[in-house]
Amino acid sequence: MKLLLCLLLCAATLTAAGKTVFDFALNSIDGQPASLAAYKGKVVLLVNVASKCGYTPQYTALESTYEKYKDRGFVTVGIPANNFGAQEPDTNQEIKTFCSSKYNVTFPMMAKVSVKGEDIAPLYQFLTDKAVHPETGGEIQWNFTKFLIGPDGHVIARFEPAVTPDSPEVISAIEKALASLKS
């Protein structure tokens, strides 16, 4: 029985190891199916966002970074989550209205998901899996955790909430990933 369990666990890890972010789909903020495969060939910054968080002003830097690099193959994707301090209690429509009216967000926004716990979204289960992503995996600690995804769908880097989207380390990683598009 232990051997069977071990084999199943190993098989699951190997299956997950062959996946990329582009194998997942979410719903858009408007409730439409949104395959992340639409971003193949682009550099993607996935961010779990919240409207009532101390880090919420990062929407400004998320939008300006998106605007600065979108024509070069970069996209920011906001993914609302209510896992931390009930800081995203609103409906998807309320979140959309808030983001566009307060922060002029034009980058893609997805429907609210769970980024940790028993109801964790499959995408976040994959992103946080330490067996698959030993350097960038691990439980999401708070809102505005950022994952930089390469054009092949693999995680390049993870930035914790206090690291702003326009910080030198994030910008450098984005520019390096975008340079790989030219080669």
Catalytic status, residue 6: no
149 within 8 A of 46, measured Cβ to Cβ: yes
Whole-number Å distance between alpha carbons of 144 and 53 = 9
Whole-number Å distance between alpha carbons of 64 and 43 = 16
Looking at residue 19, its amino acid is K
Residues recorded for the chain: 183
**Angle, CA 98 vertex, CA 151 and CA 53 arms, to 5°:** 80
Catalytic residue among 6, 10, 53, 99: 53
Non-local (6+) Cβ contacts of 114 within 8 A are 81, 82, 83, 120, 121, 124
Residues belonging to the active site: 53
